[in-house]
Structure 1
């Protein structure tokens, strides 16, 4: 720790020694008040001309805007709640007109990542990183953040789940055991290809509410979503345990208090070598009390046809998945500046069978003795209360999440009696957080908060003949955690911003064995203990010019330990910790210029790595495997050659190694971390062309490549995987109210081998692959009223 502190101090001193230069931004200081007065002040401070097309606009309210920013950024902030939009009509002249509300607007060019395009005439709103908990502009965010605008999620195939996120972010990867039972990874922080009892390495959030702790990705269908943010990790200071790789934050569209709206979409898909699929979803927004209360309801359902044939049971297309769910959001605005949001979410996923095939067998086939179905039931409720002042915002969020995951694995030995291993996990997460944040002003701002969390996981197992499996040893883990955190930004010299923060957490952990069957199943370590963690962070941003910024960041993240079942014993695993140093450069932004790029190089040290393994009986379990390191380079770029056309590209290189394995852990032929592709790339484009006064054509496409990786830790899990490329194309033609879409997924009908494990019991004698869904064509229709 002392070496890290010396390194951080030295880096900051070096940054502070760089002489300052004049910034392209100007100091803005506008109090809250009528829009007419606010634009007069802005005109003087930014030396621009602003005209109102409608005098009534001058009476609308505008928030306080303070800080160093461009005139465009200040103008967009002033108009964020005024139902008006700015248009550039001259070199330094703007015209403000009433906004024409667009319910579910037609997708605009390239809104995936922090590199989205900006038209030259009507400016796009600057990207705000809400995951910073201070609503920082991307240009002020001290790290690697990417944003996917909600409309981009629905191009071609509305309401997809996590696969829509993975498709658009090169540094985000996922296992592929099936919707509702996968794990997500960011920046090469990965522990295995199958779901064990460890805490997730990526924190997933719906608004301010965490979706998972010791649970899989719930794969919520992304209907009616405002945006998705990916903050590369660690993110320990603001988000605590389980954010080693980073966080993924999904932001819902809030209820509108003055508009009655109805939207819907439906589609049918045909899959080569498989069954057809159908999907549909809808949204209704109801103003209960104009200006004071609004209700937004979302419902959806989908049936994804299977494409794996089971030769052992003479069944075709066995891996069908059914999903249905919904959300409800109630927004109340009881007084000026106060907002209360009450939300609820439910979703059920039912997988009829597993997604894997046998390596060396005919494509898309396997031989198994029993069906290996699974299900995931997810429920969430949350309440968020916020209040805005001119300089500060208070946010209080409280919620509860319940998730139940049931899985069945074929444990039959070759030629033996059909055997099954059943596992049921019930997860309860209750959390509350209260924070106060100041708005960034002249480089100074802060956030301070406190949180309480309770998480309980109960894992029960059955093992034995398929007709009557018996109770097997299970485990229950629980954690109660209290946390204080703070982060502050300041400018010691011109153009240099320093950000420092820390998180203090005290946790009480306890666990016990369930259904202990044999005297050998004994606890080898106390099942109850306390842990105290301190997670410091520091970052620095230096403006080379108005378009270019250097970024340095150092932060830590951790996962608490717990109890696991291993080789008939209930054993304790220790917490693990990741320390990351990163240096990056950013040039350009979505609201200026035709081109922008961001590149980052990072070094991560991972100690006491928690990894999912397979014990000598074939049962999945978890162990601390030792210490490792990861070198990462990633770059992203956006290019808008002409209005209406935008390209995005992402690329990464990972070099990982378990360089200090613990005794008793046998590594595979290579000592790389599992599920970490050595290279990866992503390319996408979006094209918009008006065909008539009302009719518009939208075209988009994505291509992704995941390099070589391996299944997990140990000789049994040393199987190669990855080296997969896939491409998708989507098109929509229609008006603002109606449209017809056509999507083609897996354009080249690639089979591949994605990151997953079918059944761990077959690994010693049967090799497995997890293929991509074959080429799928979807015809869809959408409407809004």
Structure 2
């Protein structure tokens, strides 16, 4: 039976059982606790809490940092049931996501303030604490997506962050800040959630975190474990009969383990080793065929994926007296193996001479897969020295300086078999290696093989100097000097490669990126700032394209061969903003405007005739707009939030290779997005209180590609509504929630997956129940 309303019944039943078990466990552990916790009270603060961030690699009040920052705390993530990148982008101004390789975990690219490109190096830096997880844009995988588990907060830093975060942070940086070990107190928490998706099945998430001081005040261990399942809601149907072959094929399972230890042998020294491991198994992508009923696909080959992240790191902090020395040693590894349906792109029917009769049609009907094995490995080391916070009695200067080294290896292996190809030839008494046929063999039915190895090495010096003209006015000058080498070696074979080939190419580059900012603290509650910052991303190398297969495409572009490398692109960003706390800190208003000039865009040029593509630099672009975030507490029990952004990102010059012109919109950039949130807390009985939350998000129209004839060119505006009600009692919080309450099913993206245009919709309405508690 396909779950519908029965999902909710099942969800509530399972949650009730889980709740009983957790409550029993909690009762037993509470008796053994050294001291009882203070019970939660319905009394709420009538002021908006201050937010501390590490955007400038030192802990500061977000309202005093001269750049546009959005922050979502771990508590807010859990309360709003935000559990993926798509949810985050809808909740924050001027950040968006898109996926050219299909929609699903680990396949999307992130854009900030209109700086969007699916080719070349990444435009947004992604960090887990101080560890970079930023990799180049590849059609075979998107950005790393750590699960939002045991997270203190997510910081989104808009605008170029090249001085402190290096190349690829030209649009901005996203930082996932983990909860750190607590040396003083034992902490333990659990969270369970069960829900049902309309047209899908039952979903669940369960996690637990324990923080245990081993030597109080000196040594502590923090351990967290999470497991989860998301049901699928897309059905696979027969392409001939339309009957359902498999239901909910886009289901997903995940598991996460986090370990961290903090050792503070002296007051001045702390050493924190940590390990983060995550595995996500996707049964298929979240896209369906648009010529079929909603949420159905008739693909011949399923498209599963296995995405694993491993991030061990060692952070050392040493207080030098006048400054702090920080060392971050890290290793980042991502292994992403996935399958695509290559039936359309690998169709050989038209290439096969029709002798004997019927052979071409039989081969054209064969299914084909694209097996992609991606591995990213990076070692990095950063040393930085940071002055103490500003003290007008000590010095008018604060400063930061450091060195950075990274060695990044990216491997992509691509095998594309056409299942039953040799057997079909044999059944017709033919041989593909026969000169009267194709004149080439297909070992193990394989039609294409490619193995690419990218290696990028970076060395950088960086620093910032902050001078206080008076205690309320200070300016910052920052510089980063980077040297990088990039190489690509490739081996290829089989029919679509034009036979065996081998190539190797390398390049080197260097870049000095400056930053200037000025901030005026008009009074303790109002700050105005302005900045001018340069951002860039590294150039690189691209695979050679077989001229024998793509000659007609080259002729259409007016070239004889495809380039094998692309250069760095750069931009200048200018920003003006304010951060205010008003009405006795019951109202906060952050607003900013920006203007960006972008030169030498790294873009992907498709060759439709032969199915290949290449990366190159094309033209100029500009982006301008504004964003705002408002929070208000009209009473101590009501918290309201309103945020929004507007971005106009267009080409500034013609791009003949894409048939694009000056004024055409940059891909993946919504014109606007707006988010409205509200929470009301109220007394129940005794120390119990209830709450109701709601959130509405509007995302404006955008263009998924620069190519006007592509089905994904025009993306519509859409909206979502989420809501929840619940109660807090003692150490526990029980919540009933709904996501996509209106069950919006608009097709919001049409990703091109191996030459097939598919449709991506928001996940259908999901209703569930969650229980969170401290034990």
**TM norm structure 2:** 0.81
* Residue of structure 1 aligned with 2:92, choices 161, 169, 184: 169
Q: Secondary structure at the match of 1:152?
A: helix
Cα distance change, pair 469–108 in 1 and its aligned pair in 2 (3 A): farther
Equivalent residues of 1:625, 1:665 under 8 A apart:
no
Q: Distance in 1 between matches of 2:672 and 2:41?
A: 34
Residue matched to 1:155: 79
Tell me the residue number matched to 1:576: 569
Deviation at 1:621, TM superposition (A): 4.9
Q: How does 1:580-599 map to 2 (within 5 A)?
A: 580-588=573-581, 592-599=584-591
Q: Find the aligned partners of 2:703 and 2:90 in 1 and give their Cα distance.
A: 20
Give 1:286's match in structure 2, choosing from 212, 215, 233.
212
Please state if 1:723 is matched with 2:717. Answer: yes
Q: Is the 8 A contact 2:529 2:578 kept in 1?
A: yes
Following the alignment from structure 1 to structure 2, what is the Cα–Cα distance between the partners of residues 250 and 381? 15
**Are 1:384 and 2:315 an aligned pair?**
yes
Deviation at 1:520, TM superposition (A): 8.5
Whether the 8 Å contact between 1:613 and 1:713 is mirrored in structure 2 is no
Would you say 1:128 and 2:77 are equivalent positions?
no
Q: Is the 8 A contact 1:155 1:732 kept in 2?
A: no
Residue 423 of structure 1 pairs with residue 356 of structure 2: no
By how many angstroms is 1:230 displaced? 1.2
Q: Match for 1:742 among 720, 733, 736?
A: 736
Q: Deviations over 1:286-314 (max 9, x none)?
A: 22112111111111111100011222363
Which residue, 510, 525, 535 being the options, matches 2:513?
535
2:270 maps to 1:339: yes
Does 1:556 pair with 2:534? yes
Task: Name the counterpart of 1:507.
Answer: 484
Contact 2:563 2:616 in 1 (8 A): no
Aligned to 1:58: none
- Aligned match of 1:696: 689
Length-normalised TM-score, structure 1: 0.80
2:127 aligns with one of 197, 205, 212: 205
1:781 partnered with 2:771:
yes
Partner of 1:440, secondary structure, is coil
- How far 1:532 moved relative to its partner? 0.7
- Counterparts of 2:446 and 2:38, CA distance in 1: 53
After TM superposition, give the deviation of residue 755 of structure 1 in Å: 4.2
Q: Which residue of 2 aligns with 1:441?
A: 391
Partner Cα distance (2:653, 2:92) in 1: 31
Residue 327 of structure 2 corresponds to which residue in structure 1? Answer: 396
Q: Counterparts of 1:641 and 1:484 in 2: how far apart (Å)?
A: 48
The runs of 5 or more residues in structure 1 that have no matched partner are 1-99, 110-117
Corresponding residue number in structure 2 for 1:64 = none
1:329 paired residue number? 260
Q: What CA distance in whole angstroms lies between the structure 2 residues aligned with 1:140 and 1:519?
A: 59
Contact 2:491/2:502, CA 8 A, preserved across alignment = no
Q: Which sits farther off after the overlay, 687-696 or 502-511? A: 687-696
Matched, 1:457 2:435: no
Q: Cα gap change, 1:673/1:298 in structure 2, threshold over 3 Å: closer, same or farther?
A: same
Alignment CA distance shift 1:560-1:779 (3 Å): same
> Which whole-Å deviations, capped at 9, do the CAs of 1:225-258 have from their partners, x for residues lacking one?
1111111121011100110111111111111223
Match of 2:700 in 1: 707
The answer (yes or no) to whether the contact 1:153–1:164 under 8 Å persists in 2 is: no
Structure 2 counterparts to residues 351-362 of structure 1, below 5 A: 351-362=282-293
For 1:101 and 1:555, the matched residues in 2 are separated by 51
Equivalent residues of 2:164, 2:462 under 8 A apart? yes
Q: Which of 187, 201, 207 is equivalent to 1:261?
A: 187
Deviates more, 1:616-625 or 1:127-136: 616-625
C-alpha deviation, 1:543, in angstroms = 3.2
Partner of 1:604: 596
- Matched with 1:772 is 762
Distance 1:373 1:105 in 2: 45
Partner SS state of residue 139, structure 1: helix
Contact 2:161 2:173 in 1 (8 A): yes
Alpha-carbon distance in 2 for matches of 1:139, 1:355: 39
Is 2:264 the partner of 1:274?
no
Question: 1:100-124, CA deviations, whole angstroms, 9 ceiling, x for partnerless residues?
Answer: 9969989998xxxxxxxx634xx84
Does residue 310 of the first structure (1) align with residue 236 of the second (2)? Answer: yes
Structure 2: which 5+ runs fail to align? 1-34, 240-244, 348-363, 421-444, 547-561
Offset of residue 550 of structure 1:
2.1
Tell me the equivalent position of 1:72. Answer: none
Which residue, out of 631, 638, 641, partners 1:648? 641
Structure 1 516/502 Cα, relative in aligned 2: closer, same or farther at 3 Å? farther
State how far apart, in whole Å, the 2-side matches of 1:101 and 1:430 are.
Answer: 44
Tell me if the contact between 1:310 and 1:366 (Cα under 8 Å) persists in the aligned partners.
yes
Q: Secondary structure at the match of 1:586?
A: strand
Paired position in structure 1 for 2:13: none
Q: After the TM superposition, which of the residue ranges 704-713 and 169-178 deviates more from structure 2?
A: 169-178
Cα 1:455–1:684, aligned 2, differ >3 Å: closer, same or farther? Answer: same
> Partners of 1:632 and 1:156 in 2: how far apart?
27
Distance 2:459 2:742 in 1: 50
The separation in 1 between residues aligned to 2:700 and 2:493, in whole angstroms, is 42
- 1:609 is paired with a residue whose SS is strand
The Cα shift of 1:362 comes to 1.7
Contact between 1:613 and 1:712, CA under 8 Å: does it hold in 2? no
Q: Deviations over 1:483-534 (max 9, x none)?
A: 000111112356321111110001121111132555698799x712221100
CA distance in 2 between partners of 1:107 and 1:181 (Å): 42
The equivalent residue for 1:33 is none
Structure-1 separation of matches of 2:146 and 2:295: 27
Q: Which secondary structure does the structure 2 equivalent of 1:353 belong to?
A: coil
Structure 1 contact 170–704 (Cα < 8 Å) conserved: no
User: In the aligned structure 2, how far is the partner of 1:619 from the partner of 1:405?
Assistant: 22
**1:391–1:700 Cα change, 3 Å:** farther
Q: Which residue in 1 is equivalent to 2:112?
A: 186
Q: Give the C-alpha shift of residue 219 in structure 1.
A: 2.0
Q: 1:466 to 1:378 in 2, by over 3 A?
A: farther
Report SS of the residue matched to 2:164. helix
**Match status 1:733 vs 2:657:** no
Structure 1 vs Structure 2 CA RMSD: 2.7
Question: For residues 376-420 of structure 1, what are the alpha-carbon distances to aligned partners after superposition, in whole Å with 9 as ceiling and x for unaligned?
Answer: 111110000002355422211010011012232222239732122
8 A Cα contact 2:492 2:502, kept in partner: no
1:400-411 paired onto structure 2 within 5 Å: 400-411=331-342
Residue 67 of structure 2, aligned match among 143, 168, 172:
143
